[in-house]
Each structure stands twice: as C-alpha cells, then as structure tokens.
C-alpha cells in the first residue's frame, strides 16, 4: 500500500515568495495532520482535518499560513509571504480515525524540508 | 494542556546491549494513548510501539518493549539486543482518547549505537 505522499521533498526559495506544500493521505484515512519540526521547538501540530473539515488550527503560527483539504485525497499547506523563520521540515500524517475509542496510529509522510533564504 | 518530557537529549549503547529511553508526561486525563516513534537520518517518522493507558500490560514489539507506569506518568522504551539500524532520534508522543486527535511530542532522544 502506498503511504502518505508529500511533495516536494525539498524546497528552497527566497523570502517573500509563496510556498505550497502538498500531501496525499493514505486511501481510506479520514484524518489528516500537518506538523512542523524545528530544532528549537521540536515537532508541533499546525492543523488537522477530519473528513476534510479543519478541526484544530490552533497551531497555525499566523495569517501567513493557510491549509486546505478540498477532497479526501489531497491537502495543501501554503505560506504567503514566506520568511526565513519558516525554514523547517513539514510533515503530513494521516490516520483512520473511524472511532476514537480505538488506538489508530498516525502514519507520516517523508516530510518536506523547506529553506527560506 | 498535555506535555511530554524526554530528559535524555542523547544516549549511546553498544551493539547487542540493552538501552532504556525515558519519557514522562503530564495530563489530567485518565484515558489516552502513548507512542514511541523513530526518526532515522532519512527523516521518516516510523511508529515503534504504542500503549493504551487502560491496559496494565506493557506493550512489546519484538526487541522493543515499554515500561508504562500510569501513576508515575512514565513511559520508557527498552531496546534489547541493540542493532546498528536502531540508531535514530526517538520521540515519545501522547494522544488524548476523547479530545483532540493531535499528537503531543517530546523533544526527542538521539540514540547512537556503537559497534
């Protein structure tokens, strides 16, 4: 089975440019998560969706960040305008949260390493 | 809010030996899940083992086992017969059962395996 697919794997861009990160969750998974990993703050949740609806976006740092999930098989995380402090590894994860009573682990993509110059 | 603490930024072990990685957490909830994820240099996040808080029996997965102490809010990972491929960052994570589905991660422990 295909895992969570993220693209691009690496992105280098100049400050002020728009950046779009993409994620395809595992088929049948109805929860999707965006995490950011930095040396200073570790792994932190930015936003998560359930059945394509944003449930918790409290981790989104500011208005420059936005995320969408137009359908069950695709999500984007956009940063506009980008800043050097946005440099990090961004992970997408998905899980089959059919019932919270069950322990459904999250499956992670390989991440996008973003560098803002 | 829940917090997860990994007090050992780095650990090392000799190949074939046993090592234990520590994790403590803070929560007011009674039902929750705990996980250990491994992140090798390739950057993948790989699930190693998971534990439901309502289960008293410690989870095991081959060479990996946990020591879950609910009253102490402790969740340590034991790796037996360490192999070179076990070298990685290890992250402890917490997830509520009834609330948010998000994972709350510790800062990680870097494990080095010496030949």
Tens-place pLDDT, residues B5-54: 999 999 999 999 999 999 999 999 988 999 999 999 989 999 999 999 99
| CB neighbourhood size of B106 (10 A) | 26
Task: Tell me how close the Cα of B43 comes to any Cα of chain A, in angstroms.
Answer: 6
State how beta strands B46-52 and B60-61 pair: unpaired
Question: What average pLDDT does this structure show over A49-56?
Answer: 93
Query: Exposed, middle or buried by CB within 10 Å (0-12, 13-18, 19+), for B41?
Result: exposed
| Average pLDDT over every residue of B57-72 | 96
Q: Check if B98 contacts A (Cβ < 8 Å).
A: yes
What integer is the mean pLDDT of A34-42? 94
**Distance (Å, rounded) from C-alpha B38 to C-alpha B108?**
9
Q: Once rounded to an integer, what is the mean pLDDT over residues A77-99?
A: 91
Which of A20, A59, A55 has the alpha carbon at shortest distance from A38?
A59
Q: Which residue of A has its CA nearest to B107?
A: A42
Which residues on chain B are in Cβ contact (under 8 Å) with A101? Answer: 97
Looking at the DSSP bridge assignments, the partners of residue A35 are A45, A91
Three-state SS at A99: coil
Q: What is the dihedral of CA A60, A62, A21, A29, to 10 degrees?
A: 20
pLDDT averaged over every residue in chain B: 94
Res. A97: pLDDT tops 90? no
Q: Span A15-40, mean pLDDT?
A: 95
Closest CA to A49 of A64, A60, A37: A60
Selected residue with higher pLDDT from A112 and A96: A112
- pLDDT for the residue B47: 94
Residue A67: the pLDDT is: 97
Residue A1: per-residue pLDDT: 63
Give the per-residue pLDDT at B98. 74
Best A60, A108, A111, A113 member to test B by mutation, with max B CBs in 10 Å, is A108
Query: What phi and psi, each to the nearest 5 degrees, are found at residue A17?
Result: -80, 155
Other Cβ atoms within 10 Å of B31 Cβ, number: 14
Which residue in the set A33, A110, A113 is minimally distant from B102, CB to CB?
A33
- Phi first, then psi: what are they for B60, rounded to 5°? -140, 145
Query: Among residues 75-114 of chain A, which lie with CB inside 8 Å of chain B?
Result: 89, 91, 93, 95, 97, 100-101, 103, 105-108, 110-111, 113
- pLDDT, average across residues A93-100: 75
Report pLDDT for A96.
86
By Cβ distance, the residue of B37, B42, B102 closest to A45 is: B102
Whole-number mean pLDDT of chain A?
Answer: 92
Alpha-carbon torsion (B44, B106, B34, B91), positive or negative: positive
Q: Which residues of B touch A53 (CB under 8 A)?
A: none
Dihedral of CA atoms A28, A54, A112, B86 in degrees, nearest 10, equals -60
For B41-94, the three-class secondary structure string (H helix, E strand, C coil) is: CCCCCEEEEEEECCCCCCCEECCEEEEEECCCCEEEEEECCCCHHHCEEEEEEE
**Residues in chain A within 8 Å Cβ distance of B44:** 108, 110-111
For residue A98, the SS3 value is coil
> How do beta strands B10-14 and B109-114 pair?
parallel
Q: State mean pLDDT over B65-92.
A: 97
């Amino acid at each position: 089975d295909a895992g969570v697919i993220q693209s691009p794997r690496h992105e280098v861009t100049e400050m002020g440019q728009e950046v779009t990160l993409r994620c395809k969750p595992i088929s049948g998974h109805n929860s999707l998560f965006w995490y950011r990993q930095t040396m200073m703050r570790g792994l932190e949740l930015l936003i998560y969706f359930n059945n394509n609806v944003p449930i918790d976006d409290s981790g989104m740092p500011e208005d420059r960040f936005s995320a969408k999930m137009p359908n069950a098989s695709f999500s984007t995380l956009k940063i506009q305008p980008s800043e050097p402090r946005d440099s990090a590894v961004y992970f997408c994860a998905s899980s089959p949260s059919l019932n919270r009573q069950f322990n459904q682990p999250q499956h992670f993509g390989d991440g996008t390493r973003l560098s803002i110059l | 809010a829940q917090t997860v603490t990994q007090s050992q930024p780095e650990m090392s072990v000799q190949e074939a030996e046993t090592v234990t990685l520590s994790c403590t957490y803070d929560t007011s909830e009674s039902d929750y899940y705990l996980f250990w994820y491994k992140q090798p240099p390739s950057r993948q996040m790989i699930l190693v083992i998971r534990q439901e808080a309502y289960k008293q029996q410690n989870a095991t997965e081959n060479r990996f086992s946990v020591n879950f102490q609910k009253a102490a809010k402790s969740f340590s990972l034991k790796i037996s017969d360490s192999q070179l491929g076990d070298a990685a960052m290890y992250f402890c994570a917490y997830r509520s059962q009834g609330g948010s589905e998000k994972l709350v991660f510790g800062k990680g422990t870097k494990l080095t395996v010496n030949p």
